Amino acid sequence: MESDAQDQNFGLDKEIQTDFQKEMSYGDYLHLDNILSSQRLLSDHHDEMLFIIIHQTSELWMKLILHEVNAAIQCILRNDLEPSFKMLSRVSKIQQQLIQSWNVLTTLTPADYMQFRHKLGRSSGFQSYQNRLIEFALGQKNPGKLAVYRHQADLYKKMCDALGEPSIYDAAISALAANGLPVDGVVLKRDWSVCYEPNNSVEEAWLAVYRNTDKYWDLYELAEKLVDIGNQQQLWRFHHLTTVERIIGHKKGTGGSSGVPYLKKVIDHQFFPELLSLRTKL
């Protein structure tokens, strides 16, 4: 009776399910016991919890990016562009969440981070295989970065396979050709495991799209979705750089990279080059 009275005082609807002996609960569905028990601190420092959760949640967001981008690639390869637009819009929103996560991490001060940084050993965000898969899906292919995964045979094979798959930009270029725009055959049949190089015929094809948006509206919308994603990816990288610089300065990364100098080089990479270069010629 006391429990019923408390439920009524708090406005609990009578129809709300409260008996989960034989029903699946919210926590069951989401496997919260597994997720919330995965924050295993290696130090007794208060801020290590922040550090772990930021990186774990980032990996979950990256998983969703890959889910959406890979599905979008398949749609575009079928020249079925419209379903990909929602997926790509979602990706850009997820990227905004990832960018915001760096702002949260900046509340970790250098003095506090030094209290547990040594516990990381040689582990590093450089080793994030999902981040690499995102780069591959966006067209930044680099076989040299696969070496850090050789100790995990199944993962290494997965990464090698992904390296040889068409990126979303390769798919977009194939959509240009499928819609009657002339693209050099060498681009359409190129080695997908190699990082894409700009091509004049691709730029001319995109220029035709931008000069006649009514005729090529779907291709135009696809192009702008890709530009959004490319910009957000660069913003994420920039915030990564500034966060690292703020917390550890120019120390080397725990995984052996040069740290800030390496991150500055990464920012120089340009996604979907013709979609940016064409703007000067319009």
- Residue 117 labeled ligand binder: yes
pLDDT value, residue 4: 52
126 marked ligand binding residue:
no
SS3 call for 67:
helix
Q: Is 67 annotated as a binding residue?
A: no
> Residue 148 is encoded by which pair of tokens?
């850090």
Average pLDDT over residues 15-25: 90
Token match 């509340």: residue?
Answer: 107
In this predicted structure, the answer to whether residue 9 has a pLDDT above a threshold of 60 is: no
pLDDT of residue 137: 98
The burial of 173, by beta-carbon neighbours within 10 Å (0-12 exposed, 13-18 middle, 19 or more buried), is given as: buried
176, 202 contact by CB (below 8 A)? yes
pLDDT of residue 17: 87
pLDDT (0 to 100) of residue 1: 47
CA geometry: angle 170, 172, 178, nearest 5 deg? 105
Other CB atoms within a 10 A radius of the CB of residue 103 amount to: 10
254 is in an annotated binding site: yes
> Is 55 annotated for ligand binding?
yes
Exposed / middle / buried, residue 20 (Cβ in 10 Å: 0-12, 13-18, 19+): exposed
pLDDT above 90 covers a percentage of the chain that reads: 88
Measured from the Cβ of residue 136, the count of other Cβ atoms closer than 10 Å reads 24
CA dist., res. 120 & res. 114, Å (int): 11
- pLDDT for residue 6 is more than 70: no
Q: How many CA atoms lie less than 13 Å away from 218 in the CB half-sphere?
A: 14
Annotated binding-site residue? 267: no
**Rg of the chain in Å (alpha carbons):** 23
Q: Is 52 marked as a binding-site residue?
A: yes
216/221 Cα distance (integer angstroms)? 9
Structure tokens at 67: 């889910």
Nearest CA to 81 among 1, 172, 170? 172
pLDDT of residue 11: 63
Instruction: Summarize pLDDT for 201-212 with one digit per residue, the tens.
Output: 999 999 999 999
Distances (CA, A) of 128 to 55, 146, 180: 10, 11, 39
Tens of pLDDT, residues 215-241: 999 999 999 999 999 999 999 999 999
Distances (CA, A) of 157 to 72, 89, 129, 140: 23, 30, 12, 18
Inform me whether the pLDDT recorded for 272 exceeds 60.
yes
- pLDDT band at residue 18 using 50, 70 and 90 as cut-offs: confident
Q: How far apart are CA 71 and CA 83, in angstroms?
A: 9
Residues 76/168, Cβ–Cβ less than 8 Å: yes
Q: What is the pLDDT of residues 97-141, one digit of tens each?
A: 999 999 999 999 999 999 999 999 999 999 999 999 999 999 999
User: Could you tell me the pLDDT band of residue 3, with boundaries at 50, 70 and 90?
Assistant: low
Higher-confidence residue of 4 and 34: namely 34
Rounded to the nearest angstrom, the gap between the alpha carbon of residue 37 and the centroid of all alpha carbons in its chain is: 24
Please state the φ and ψ torsions of residue 243, each to the nearest 5 degrees. -70, -45
